[in-house]
Amino acid sequence: LSTPSRPQPTHPLAVAPVTAPEATVDGFVEQFLRNLNNGRGVALSASTPNDRYFALAATVRDYLMARWLEDVRRQRTAQSKGVAYLSAEYLLGRQLDNNLLATGLTEIAGEALAACGLDIDEVRALEIEPGLGNGGLGRLAACFIDSLATMGVPNIGYGIRYEYGIFRQTFVDGQQVEQADSWLSLGSPWEFPHPEAAQTISFGGHTETYDDDGVVRSRWIPAWNVQAVPHNYMVPGYHNGRVNTLRLWSAQATQGFDLRTFNSGDYQEAVRAQTYAENISKVLYPEDSTPQGKELRLQQQYFFVAASISDFVNLILPRDFDLTRLPERVIFQLNDTHPVIGVPELMRVLVDEKGLEWDAAWAITRECFAYTCHTLLPEALEVWPSDLLGRLLPRHLEIIYRINDEFLDEVRERYGDDEDRIRRMSIIAPDGAVRMAFLATVAGSKVNGVAELHSQLLREKVLPDFDEFFPGKFTNVTNGVTPRRFVKLANPGLSRLITDTIGPGWLTDLDRLRELEPFADDASFRQAFASVKAANKRALAKTLHARDGFTVDDGHMLDVMVKRLHEYKRQTLKLLHIVSQYDAIVSGRVSPAEVTPRTFVFGAKAAPGYAMAKRIIHLINAVGEVVNSDPRVEGRLAVLFPPNYNVTLAERVVPAADLSEQISLAGKEASGTGNMKFALNGALTIGTDDGANVEIRQLVGDENFFLFGMTEPEVATLAETGYHPIDFVRADENLQSALDLISSGAFSCGDGSVFEPVVSNLVHHDPFMALADFTSYAAAQQKVDALYADTEAWTRSAILNVARSGFFSSDRSMRDYIDRIWHTPPVR
């Protein structure tokens, strides 16, 4: 019997490559109306704003589609080595403008909508940004996939499609109240769900051994499954016709699971099971830098990593692929420890499912992973209790034990029975918990930190035994940010000025900003530059007025601190300085005319369970309320704290800022990426020698950077010799009276007890030494005032910040990863 052959396509269109709509206003209008009519089922005259936004998004997608399908096809045939970026977070920001920019359709789309009687600005305002990340780590992942697409490097980003992203922050009586971020409630026009391609992901149960032709093997008998449904997003390169893929997994209950329970008659139980399964991708954990060891979080991690590995190994690779050659096809980059459970998962797949020998599988695994560490905070290094791991992933725990046993054997071979060293290096902590950073370090082909200082401290202080044991494994890749979003989209005025001055091409070759350097001495260029900054400030003022009802005085210096609220970042240091300036004026020590008019802008979300961070938010709002309504400082000081700082707001705030506050305690901020965005947009930095500030200062020059505070070795020495914050209070009258003013209840209707926990924590503990750096910070702020008074000199410095910050393009970060870690050249 012959199998019936399928009919072959005969129509020319069916065999021709997919084509894009015509890139003209007419072509765009036609496609837009078709999407509105056929996709939304409405006529233009009856369409809602949401219909129009969806139709516009669909139209932009249509222009990208041919390139996307072509890239997927090309990668399938070429099978060249690519990067599988594993990240629990992608903080993408809005998609519409970015995708219009990538396709070069921005003008055409605006004209096309105008021709339909629509204002594209009104339509674009409807987009809700997908907040699938907490802060810098998630935003970094978004910048990296943008750069890889722009450079033509094969890449899939893998992550989780949280139903609720980072919470929406509101303030009630100055205190943070979290609201659910239901970003999907009106639908999501940028994603392509593929429920038919769901993967089954297993959990729980037990392991058993069995006889496989005389060989004893282990296998996992799981207890329950969920489905992982892929949702694909386009990741377009800038003006290069390339489109990579971001694949986010969503959890769904499996049919079989429900039916079993349902057939037993317990309908309620069946529904409960469904809810349980779907919980896995329900919500992003809102902790930035302090992971909670929660079972659901481990479920999330395994869920997306197992789905991603299976996707790559079973679907992307050809069926007959020789898995010993896996390292020639893929590098799985671990974005922090969150995806590290992928290490034992790949081992399980290779050994238990594909039948490879352990040693062969381990050799493959060690080449296929690399690990990026994003922190130095001990509380941020993830550990998983072994009972939890054993309950949820029993086979993985066995595999981790064996990896550890063999690793410790090697350590013994090298150092003898140095039990102290063995205890220090064991992947399993004395209490039985699994140290995920150690597992990643043992398994990873490379381990990198995210700025020079961070990588150095990582080697010297966090993982020194491993650095000694694995020479050459540790490296640095300094973070970067995408200039497409954070210069071109966020700052069109500056972008135009740059192009007018040095010509096009700099947006994908950011070192070319150096060519601006000579123009710092050109008065007419300085004037043009300053007027761009002024226009950006007015635009921000307009946004903040519409969004929050704030007014921003013309002519104020804009002094900005936007980032997650964390004690190590020291928002309190900034606040104490504001309070001391306010105090100096109202107590008559300085006249208002002596103070540089400044508007202080804060943006910060606190983790919902982080009580001290929430008190600090309350205090910032309380100080703002008093300062903003006190006639004695009117026109001189203002404190604005727009709630719900996110990528969309960042794109407004960053280009408007004069002064960028990067004031973490030295040795605590791994890199920072906001610092780079500000420098690239012509803000000057006041900052400590921490994270990437170090490199920013080296590049822009000491004269164009306000350095203050202890260095990391000085911090270490002070901690060793004993830190007594009260000594620093006694030594600085301004600090003393600022603290007294808060304690007096000046910002809490006379009730000093409200902020007592913040003040006493500072005076008695001050774990991040804000008080020790106060005097030096205040002195640096005086230098800020002095330079700002000389408008020409300030502008000159601002221009040099832009000209010398090209290094911080994420394109450069990607080149460094490719050269030092991935070895995945662009595919032409």
Q: Which residues bind ligand B1H (CB under 6 A)?
A: 134, 136-137, 140, 285, 287-289, 291, 336, 374-375, 380, 450, 479, 669-673, 691
The three-class DSSP label of residue 315 is helix
The catalytic residue among 329, 564, 598, 652 is 564
List the catalytic residue out of 338, 435, 537, 569: 569
Residue closer to ligand B1H by CB (options 154, 674) is 674
Nearer to ligand B1H, 190 or 285 (CB): 285
Q: How far is the CB of 143 from ligand B1H (least distance, A)?
A: 10
Least gap, CB of 380 to ligand B1H (angstroms): 5
* Residue whose pair of structure tokens reads 């329950």 in the numeric block: 224
Cβ(253)–Cβ(227) below 8 Å: yes
Question: Nearest CA to 637 among 694, 599, 669?
Answer: 599
Tell me if residue 707 falls in helix, strand or coil: strand
Nearest distance in Å: CB 374, ligand B1H = 3
Q: Could you give the angle at the alpha carbon of 466 between the alpha carbons of 461 and 468, nearest 5°? A: 90
Q: In this structure, what token pair is assigned to residue 541?
A: 């003022």
The packing angle between helices 523-548 and 791-803, to 10°, is: 90
564 counts as catalytic: yes
Nearer to ligand B1H, 287 or 352 (CB): 287
Catalytic one among 454, 677, 796, 812?
A: 677
Q: At 70, list the tokens.
A: 């072509």
Nearest approach in angstroms of CB 459 to ligand B1H is 17
Residue 74 vs 461, nearer CB to ligand B1H: 461
Least distance CB 354 / ligand B1H (angstroms): 32
The first and second tokens of residue 459, run together, are 């080697």
**From the CB of residue 385, how many other CB atoms can be counted at a distance below 10 Å?**
16
Report the SS3 class of residue 710.
Answer: coil
Considering beta carbons, is residue 29 or 88 the nearer one to ligand B1H? Answer: 88
Strands (E) located in 92-137:
131-132
Residues ≥6 apart with Cβ < 8 Å to 122 = 49
Residue partners of 146: CB distance under 8 A and separation at least 6: 98, 235, 238, 482, 484, 485, 810
Residue-level length of the chain? 828
**Catalytic residue of the set 168, 374, 485, 598:** 374
Main-chain phi, psi angles of 280, to 5 degrees: -60, -40
Question: Residue 254 catalytic?
Answer: no
Is 605 a catalytic site residue? no
Q: In 371-448, which residue ranges form alpha helices assigned H by DSSP?
A: 386-392, 394-415, 419-425, 436-443
**Between 337 and 495, whose beta carbon lies closer to ligand B1H?**
337
- Among candidate residues 599, 673, 688, 824, the one labeled active-site is 673
Tell me which residue of 84, 813, 141, 808 sits closest to 476, measured CA to CA.
Answer: 813
Closest CA to 95 of 206, 188, 196, 227: 188
Token output for 691:
């994270």
Element (H, E) at 221: strand 215-221
Q: What are phi and psi of 475, to 5 degrees?
A: -150, 175
Nearer to ligand B1H, 288 or 811 (CB): 288
Shortest distance in whole angstroms from residue 299 CB to ligand B1H = 14
Cβ count within 10 A of residue 107: 10
Give the pair of three-digit tokens for residue 140.
Answer: 């970094």
Q: Output the smallest distance, CB 478 to ligand B1H, in A.
A: 10
Q: Which helix (H) or strand (E) holds 772?
A: none
Active site residue 563: yes
Asked if residue 212 lies in contact with residue 352, where contact means CB atoms within 8 angstroms, the answer is no
Structure tokens at 547: 């969004």
Q: Tell the residue number behind the tokens 């629990």, with chain if given.
A: 88
Dihedral sign, Cα of residue 691, residue 693, residue 694, residue 699: positive
- Tell me the C-alpha distance between 99 and 56, whole Å: 11
Q: Which residue has the tokens 């140095």?
A: 418
CB 337, min distance to ligand B1H, A: 8
Question: Residue 671 contacts by C-beta under 8 Å, 6 or more apart in sequence?
Answer: 136, 374, 450, 451, 454, 478, 479, 691, 692
CB atoms within 10 A of CB 132: 25
- For 5, the token pair is 């052959």
Our answer to whether residue 488 is catalytic in this structure is no
| CA–CA separation, 231 and 216 (whole Å) | 39
Cβ closer to ligand B1H: 349 or 561?
Answer: 561
CA distance 615 to 356: 55
Nearer CB in complex with ligand B1H: 288/773: 288
Q: Considering beta carbons, is residue 540 or 670 the nearer one to ligand B1H?
A: 670
Residue 85's alpha-carbon distances to 78, 95, 145, 716, in angstroms, are 19, 20, 8, 35
| Catalytic (active site) residue 231 | no
In whole angstroms, the minimum distance from the beta carbon of 645 to ligand B1H comes to: 16
Residues taking part in catalysis: 374, 563-564, 569, 673, 677
